[in-house]
Chain A
Amino acid sequence: DAGVTQSPTHLIKTRGQQVTLRCSPKSGHDTVSWYQQALGQGPQFIFQYYEEEERQRGNFPDRFSGHQFPNYSSEPNVNALLLGDSALYLCASSLASPDTQYFGPGTRLTVL
């Protein structure tokens, strides 16, 4: 039973560029959530996808957008990258209910 997978593991971009992240949820899960974790802090909720739509959103600008595909995988995009976007981006999958979320290993994004 495969857990949550994310790719790539590391990314280096420059300011102003765009980045796309990828996540495949745990088998049987239909909901994908994304979190940003800055160094030394707890993860912060970005948004959540269910039935191919954004169901809930945290306090992040419109530069952060994404998709969920029919196979429940998800690809968020971040446009016009800023230095402050450097962080570990975590994908978590769950069923629509209950609330327990399982995390992938993350993608480390560095913006230069």
Chain B
Amino acid sequence: GQQLNQSPQSMFIQEGEDVSMNCTSSSIFNTWLWYKQEPGEGPVLLIALYKAGELTSNGRLTAQFGITRKDSFLNISASIPSDVGIYFCAGVTGGGNKLTFGTGTQLKVEL
């Protein structure tokens, strides 16, 4: 099945550093969602974006809905050890609730 392209695939950063990751698609989406998944658990919703150009924050997390509606970005400021996990973007097209997920970005934080 189709999956969105996420980069980087994985990153190993120092505690306190800022983190950026992005998600791109060849198709247009009407909604972009960012989830975090930890081992053995389901994805947890972090941020939802509903309009092109929208910039939304949730604590240390900030996400943007790209102007072209084909991409989205997630930034994490001042990373901490509990930020470890896999971050997935997901897009929703008009006319349905089906989520198309990205390939995931695995984040590892070094103390």
Contact = CB atoms under 8 A, between A and B. Distances in A.
A104 B88 CA distance: 16
B99 A104 contact: no
B41 A105 contact: yes
A43 B101 contact: yes
Contacts of B31: 98-99
B96 A43 contact: no
A100 B48 contact: yes
Contacts of A108: 40
B43 interface: yes
A4 B45 CA distance: 13
B103 A103 contact: no
Given A103-B42, A104-B42, A105-B41, A43 B99 contact: yes
A44 B1 contact: yes
B103 A33 contact: no
Contacts of B102: 42
Interface string B1-27: 101100000000000000000000000
Nearest to B44: A103
Contact of B97 (A48, A103, A104): A48
A23 to B, nearest CB: 11
B65 to A, nearest CB: 13
Nearest to A6: B42
Interface in B25-57: 30-31, 33, 35, 40-45, 48, 50
B18 to A, nearest CB: 24
A90 B42 contact: yes
List the 4 shortest-distance A-B pairs measured between CB atoms, nearest first: A42-B101, A103-B42, A99-B92, A44-B1
Given A98-B50, A101-B45, 8 more contacts: A41-B103, A41-B104, A43-B88, A55-B96, A90-B42, A94-B97, A100-B33, A101-B99
Interface of A: 4, 6, 31, 33, 35, 41-45, 48, 55-56, 58-59, 90, 92, 94, 96, 98-106, 108
Interface of B: 1, 3-4, 30-31, 33, 35, 40-45, 48, 50, 88, 90, 92, 96-104
